[in-house]
Chains A and B, each alone.
Chain A
């Protein structure tokens, strides 16, 4: 769908748009306000002419003042000078740089006809992408959640990611640590499609621990960003990124989220765009599930299995394709000690020392028991803390 836009968009207009995107402190809201009454080429012209018109147009945006516009004016002026020297349109060098990194540009329009942005209150002016183009031919489910997930959230995100992949549904998420990355990794490993929307330039991996995942998504899926190459990650860019996740997915699943997590921005954005929001129930004692449980209380549909998600997508038939193990019983537990350990873990994360004292088992027996539980997927350990993961 974006292929047409990519080719037909005049090179001059596109170059001007990228040039505007690359201005310091230029974000989606400012860009939208700027382009509401003029196109990118006109905006460039106005900036070069002194920027008074631009300052007037952006007057309502917080933080835009005369010095910032003056900075923009200087940057635009030097870009125009470069362009005049090379005989190319403004921003052509940026276009070439992006093309060199295999980054394609996508100018979403409300009138695109794919329904993605039709009713969007804040459509992005320009998206940068790597990998396959986004197509509405594939069903898309957003999986989001906290960065500081528990073992339970990790298991659920993994299972949902791979089950959706098996059902041929693309997983849309934010490529962050925690739930986002886990779901996408699982979907990739299961050979599914993924769309990762990031909050920095496509060459600025953040968080760095997700470098491999980032590269894999670019290679086997789609990587999207609102920001040009070279733009570093900044805190304010992530909530803005979440609205694109909400816009691209058809159903949003929140796996685990605290009551004030970033996932709640995605939920709000999805609600604004009439995307159904679903939540995975969690223990009411777990802070990491406070937000999702609140969503359920407010009337969101619960996710107990991938079938629930597929039903919300309107494709219940696909559930047969993915006989997920979520909601099913785990492997049987034979040893009485294992059962005692799991009982302890049901009440919350425990350290090895606590388990030794509470079960009265020797360190060796306990180590064996935890090893068995870990291999069968019942428990997992992070930094000395054991958690029940089913």
Chain B
């Protein structure tokens, strides 16, 4: 006797449809799961049996074999519990077999028969879109984001059994989650003074330029980074879906279902390569660079991260995806994020300020050498954050608030969108030439810089991108004059100058 139920399992950030086949025959009582289950998945047999019995249903004696097809795909976690239980009920005649047809079951079972949510609901349900999907009540809102044919939230196996046996109607869906109690988003108005740092944060948000902040401890680097997220516009549905998929697959809380606000991830500097880029031993999990997809990845104390970990980010930064390969398989994760990094200029934090750094040249240079040149090159905005002016700090006059700056950012992004890109960083050299011509004065200034060796050819392109973002923010004609260009050059300060202050 055989019954099948449909479910899905998570590989990376993608759901894969799994057919759960349950066979029962006479013989010594046993319960075997085949088809590459991992340890958690194999433990399902104890959960399923207990859940069935606690739900007032029967567990007839017999030899039960569960096959998870396709059998070559490694299945992890408890996500298949519910499908195994309903297929078992069908094969033992406690449910009509046709009640499982066209439906999919995604959930973990408790010993009391409760249906629980699982990690990765969004990609799982997304893979099962052409079916009616049964999920746990807490997973309902996320599941609905994937827009499957139908979603039912059922709280327990006994309820589900009565519904499938047509003895009861589907339970009412849970209420919409309360509108998120206005999470206190830190406001840019808290930042007092510091005009150049505020400017850099605004430009980073508008143009998608990666930002590196150097400054002494207590200058407000972390404060600025946390306020940058508030400047970013709402995500489009498509982007929000991409971001939510990753966040769901990683088990991050998604109280509102779709994550429409860009996320801020700030891993500690002890993060390992696998934590940052993705990886893992049993299942390949997305790393911080993927969790920050369509949001902001904030690396505080950049100089304290392991250099090899930082360098591993270079390729994903450039390509927007990362392929994590392990012996068990390979996964591709999206990695489009805004990189914001902060560090002290040297271990004592005072480098640059004339005659105040206590570090020796060797120590200072060793601190810098942790950042490779190619990584530094990815930062279009490299600014010195200096402590705010004491007078202004005590005056209590607040800076420009987030709402005003965010509206400028939104307008600038709309201008960028009219050029066919999301942000200005994506513009190619030819597109820049077409969209943002240089004035004669800007040309002359650039030539002087290039001649004096103050700017590389590679730097030139990035500086023009930033200058174009400055135009967009000012809502000006995209023609780059000398002031814009010089401002862009200032925002992309050369970092190495800091570290060999008096080198001959």
- Point out the residues of chain B lying under 8 angstroms from A147, CB to CB: 361, 502
Cβ of B489 and Cβ of A363 under 8 Å apart? no
Looking at the assembled complex, report how far the CB atom of B171 sits from the nearest CB atom of chain A, in whole angstroms: 59
Cβ of B351 and Cβ of A367 under 8 Å apart? no
With an 8 Å Cβ cutoff, the count of chain B residues facing the other chain is 42
Give the residue of B194, B199, B352, B490 whose beta carbon is less than 8 angstroms from that of A383. Answer: B352
Looking at the assembled complex, report how far the CB atom of B65 sits from the nearest CB atom of chain A, in whole angstroms: 69
B470 within 8 A of A: yes
CA distance A385 to B386 in the complex (A): 10
* Total cross-chain contacts (CB, 8 A): 119
CA distance A150 to B356 in the complex (A): 12
CA distance A366 to B195 in the complex (A): 12
Give the residue of B383, B448, B497 whose beta carbon is less than 8 angstroms from that of A381. Answer: B497
Looking at the assembled complex, report how far the CB atom of A216 sits from the nearest CB atom of chain B, in whole angstroms: 10
B426 within 8 A of A: no
B484 within 8 A of A: yes
Cβ of A363 and Cβ of B384 under 8 Å apart? no
> Which residues of chain B in 478-504 are interfacial with respect to chain A, using CB atoms and an 8 Å cutoff?
482-484, 486-487, 489-490, 493, 497-498, 500-504
- Point out the residues of chain A lying under 8 angstroms from B334, CB to CB: none
Of A178, A213, A384, most B-chain CB atoms within 10 Å: A384
- Point out the residues of chain B lying under 8 angstroms from A213, CB to CB: 504
Cβ of A364 and Cβ of B361 under 8 Å apart? no
With an 8 Å Cβ cutoff, the count of chain A residues facing the other chain is 41
CA distance A349 to B452 in the complex (A): 23
CA distance A382 to B352 in the complex (A): 6
B55 within 8 A of A: no
A269 within 8 A of B: no
Looking at the assembled complex, report how far the CB atom of A290 sits from the nearest CB atom of chain B, in whole angstroms: 11
A351 within 8 A of B: yes
Q: Which of A20-28, A74-82, A292-300, A353-361 contacts B (4 or more CB under 8 A)?
A: A353-361
- Point out the residues of chain A lying under 8 angstroms from B503, CB to CB: 177, 181, 209-210
Cβ of B493 and Cβ of A384 under 8 Å apart? yes
CA distance A365 to B445 in the complex (A): 14
Looking at the assembled complex, report how far the CB atom of A16 sits from the nearest CB atom of chain B, in whole angstroms: 35
Cβ of A387 and Cβ of B354 under 8 Å apart? yes
Chain A residue at smallest Cβ distance from B352: A383
Chain A 206-230, CB within 8 Å of chain B: the 1/0 string?
0111100100000000000000000
CA distance A106 to B199 in the complex (A): 60
Chain B residue at smallest Cβ distance from A382: B501
B143 within 8 A of A: no
- Point out the residues of chain A lying under 8 angstroms from B493, CB to CB: 381, 384
CA distance A178 to B389 in the complex (A): 30
Instruction: Known contacts A368-B486, A370-B490, A382-B498; decide if A351 and B504 are in contact (CB<8 Å).
Output: no
- Point out the residues of chain A lying under 8 angstroms from B215, CB to CB: 384
Cβ of B504 and Cβ of A383 under 8 Å apart? no
Cβ of B199 and Cβ of A177 under 8 Å apart? no
Cβ of B497 and Cβ of A365 under 8 Å apart? no
Looking at the assembled complex, report how far the CB atom of A17 sits from the nearest CB atom of chain B, in whole angstroms: 32
Instruction: Known contacts A154-B502, A382-B497; decide if A368 and B483 are in contact (CB<8 Å).
Output: yes
A193 within 8 A of B: no
CA distance A356 to B451 in the complex (A): 28
Q: A353-B386, A371-B490 are in contact. List 10 more A-B contacts (CB 8 A).
A: A288-B354, A356-B196, A364-B484, A371-B445, A382-B354, A383-B384, A384-B214, A384-B352, A384-B384, A384-B498
B-side residues, CB < 8 A to A, are 193-197, 199, 214-215, 345, 351-355, 361-362, 365, 383-384, 386, 388-389, 392, 445, 448, 452, 470, 482-484, 486-487, 489-490, 493, 497-498, 500-504
What are 5 inter-chain pairs, A to B, with CB distance below 8 A?
Answer: A181-B503, A287-B355, A354-B386, A367-B483, A382-B354
